[in-house]
Amino acid sequence: MGDFLSLFRDELPSVGSGLWVTVQATVLGALLAVAVAFGCGLAAGSRLRVVRWTSRGVVEFFRGTSLYIQLFWLYYAFPLLTGYQFDPLACGVLAFGLNYGAYGSEVVRGALAAVPTPQREAAVALSFTPLQRLYRVLLPQAWPQMIPPFTNLLIQLLKSTPLLWLISVADLTTVIQTLRDRTGETVPAYLTLLALYFVLAWALTAGMRWLERRAAGRLGRTVAPKAGTPVVMSGGRP
Amino acid sequence: MNYHWDWDAVREALPLLLEGFETTLLATVLGTLVAAVLGLALAVGGRAPTRWVTLPLAGLVTFVRSTPLLVQLAGAYAVFTTLDPLTIGVAVLGVHYSAYLAEVYRAGIDAVPRGQWEAARALSLTPGLTWRDVILPQAVRTVLPALGNYAISMFKETPFLAVITVAEMVAQAREYGADHFAYPEAFTLAGLVFLLASYPTSLALRKLEQRLGH
């Protein structure tokens, strides 16, 4: 136990840089995922059949083929096929963004569809252009509803980042694994790793919760005190 | 594109991948069973009348849900050195997903009308009988589609088992790719098998969900 902890203290800078890689992969992956989600989610509501079907195809492809395979395909197969090699971290960000973006597009689609129809009609009656309708009426109302499912996806994305260990990116998992191999102390190493991810996930949840309250506040709604927390188990008899 | 796509490699890798696919399916089915049973236990335990039971359970669920599956797998593999890797894989997958399913069951249990609890009490059924004969049969029916969805996500996460040396499909693809330097063929094929297996299942589930009126 002591060996691992003292090595952990000595190696704090490398743990910090591993943590930074994990945070980077999560944030950049999430940004790309949001872009893909809005792209495909909005395209799913297009009047043109070609656009709708293309977005459907992209979404089903990236949801159906397993993140793990996509990541490995980008890392091993893509350079062989095209002769162009991504930076490994970029491979990770790309795979996370495309995969979680595909899941997120359903969130965007669902939230937009849930905006009451009269709102759409009112916007048409005021002769807003389709773009204005989206920016001024539909998105502001749909956005607060998207945040809780986006939070879930974000946590899942964070939990996928240890995959980077497998494509030799020095993320948090890789660094702690190295410390574990050097000391041979398995249990404290993995407990530390789990605790660090737990703290990261908790920080993300808290941040998203703040965003949700702010978005709802702008619409003059309040967020129920308990909704959106990771787990609510009701005690006592119903 | 200067890579020479090798169809022979595709023909050669396919039987290997399908062999690995059996392990993938086995892990998914067993993992789902463990998760379904354990998730139910967590959901029912979460309603225990004392905080001494509910608080540790809630803590456990939160912790399992917010830490990565890969780290849980690698940790369990490193700690339980005497167990068979597939057993560890199934157990970890099961525990991981049971934390999610507990919430699904909870929603299903909440959806059972209050009157049903009151009727059970009026008939002076014991708590055990109330759960077994009144509440659960009604709750479980509504959670079936969600259970299916989690089974599909678990299916797509079985490649993680390669990390703890379980020879599922992606492990086979990686090995074949490395041996024959045919990564594009092996991984493309593995991806296609996944797509062909998971897409029809999601379609069928969506149909089932519609039929159950969600």
Q: Which CATH number characterizes residue A206's domain? A: 1.10.3720.10
CA–CA separation, B167 vs B188, rounded Å? 18
Q: List the structure tokens of A234.
A: 């009701």
Residue A232 in any domain: the answer is no
* Across A34-45, average pLDDT: 93
CA–CA separation, A202 vs B15, rounded Å? 44
Give chain A positions within 8 Å (CB) of B72.
194
CB contact under 8 A, B47 and A238: yes
Residue B67 in any domain: the answer is yes
pLDDT digits (tens, 9 = 90+) for B115-129: 999 999 999 999 899
Give chain A positions within 8 Å (CB) of B183.
72-73, 76-77, 80
CB contact under 8 A, A233 and B58: yes
Residues 180-219 of A with CB under 8 A from B: 180, 186-187, 190, 193-194, 197-198, 201-202, 205
* DSSP of A140-184: HHHHHHHHHHHHHHHHHHHHHGGGGGGGT---HHHHHHHHHHHH-
The type of residue at A25 is A
Handedness of CA A94, A96, A97, A103 (dihedral sign): positive
CA–CA separation, A12 vs A181, rounded Å? 16
Q: What is the pLDDT of residue B16?
A: 87
| Alpha carbon B7 to chain centroid, angstroms | 34
Residues 49-88 of B with CB under 8 A from A: 49-51, 54-55, 57-58, 61-63, 65-72, 74-75, 78-79
Q: What is the pLDDT of residue B149?
A: 83
Give chain A positions within 8 Å (CB) of B170.
66, 68-69, 72
CB contact under 8 A, A77 and B188: yes
Total residues found in chain B within this entry: 214
CA–CA separation, B121 vs B130, rounded Å? 8
Give chain B positions within 8 Å (CB) of A199.
none
Q: What is the pLDDT of residue B213?
A: 59
Q: How many CB atoms lie within 10 A of CB A164?
A: 27
CA–CA separation, A98 vs B135, rounded Å? 41
Taking all residues of chain A, what is their mean pLDDT, rounded to a whole number? Answer: 88
Residue B18 in any domain: the answer is no
Residue B23 in any domain: the answer is no
CB contact under 8 A, B174 and A165: no
Q: Give me the domain span that covers residue A98.
A: 1-217
pLDDT digits (tens, 9 = 90+) for A210-224: 998 888 887 777 765
Residue A88 in any domain: the answer is yes
Q: What is the pLDDT of residue A225?
A: 52
CA–CA separation, B62 vs B55, rounded Å? 11
Contacts of B25 (CB under 8 A, 6+ apart): B155
Nearest Cβ partner for A61 among B1, B103, B195: B195
Nearest CA in chain B to A155: B66
The C-alpha torsion from A198 through B100 and B195 to B200, rounded to 10°, is -170
Provide the number of structural domains found in chain A: 1
pLDDT digits (tens, 9 = 90+) for A49-71: 999 999 999 999 998 888 999 99
CA–CA separation, B174 vs B1, rounded Å? 22
Q: B124 by DSSP, 3-state: which?
A: coil
Query: How far lies B181's CA from each of A67, A69, A172, B153, B166, in Å?
Result: 22, 17, 30, 30, 21
* Across A171-189, average pLDDT: 90
- Chains A and B form CB pairs within 8 A to the count of 152
CB contact under 8 A, B202 and A64: yes
Residue B170 in any domain: the answer is no
pLDDT digits (tens, 9 = 90+) for A112-135: 988 899 998 999 999 999 889 998
Residue B8 in any domain: the answer is no
- Residue A66 gets the label, from left (phi > 0), alpha (psi -120 to 50) or beta, of left
Nearest CA in chain A to B152: A64
CA–CA separation, A134 vs A139, rounded Å? 6
Provide the number of structural domains found in chain B: 1
CB contact under 8 A, B68 and A76: no
Residue B12 in any domain: the answer is no
Per-residue pLDDT of chain B (214 residues; tens, 9 = 90+): 567 788 888 888 888 899 889 999 999 999 999 999 999 999 999 888 889 999 999 999 999 999 999 999 999 999 998 999 999 999 999 999 999 999 889 888 988 899 999 999 999 999 899 999 999 888 887 788 788 888 888 998 898 998 888 888 888 888 888 888 888 889 999 999 988 888 888 888 888 777 775 5
Give chain B positions within 8 Å (CB) of A190.
71, 74-75, 78-79
Residue A150 in any domain: the answer is yes
CB contact under 8 A, A194 and B202: no
pLDDT digits (tens, 9 = 90+) for A71-112: 999 998 998 888 888 899 999 999 999 999 999 999 999 899
Give chain B positions within 8 Å (CB) of A234.
46-47, 106, 110
Strands (E), chain B: none
Q: What is this structure's pTM?
A: 0.86
Residue A38 in any domain: the answer is yes
A134 touches chain B (CB under 8 A): no
CA–CA separation, B199 vs A63, rounded Å? 9
Give chain A positions within 8 Å (CB) of B92.
none
Nearest CA in chain B to A233: B46
Q: Give me the domain span that covers residue B100.
A: 31-47+57-164
Query: How far lies B152's CA from each of B20, B41, B86, B92, in Å?
Result: 17, 21, 19, 16
Q: Which CATH number characterizes residue B153's domain? A: 1.10.3720.10
Burial of A179 (0-12, 13-18, 19+ CB in 10 A): buried
A160 touches chain B (CB under 8 A): yes
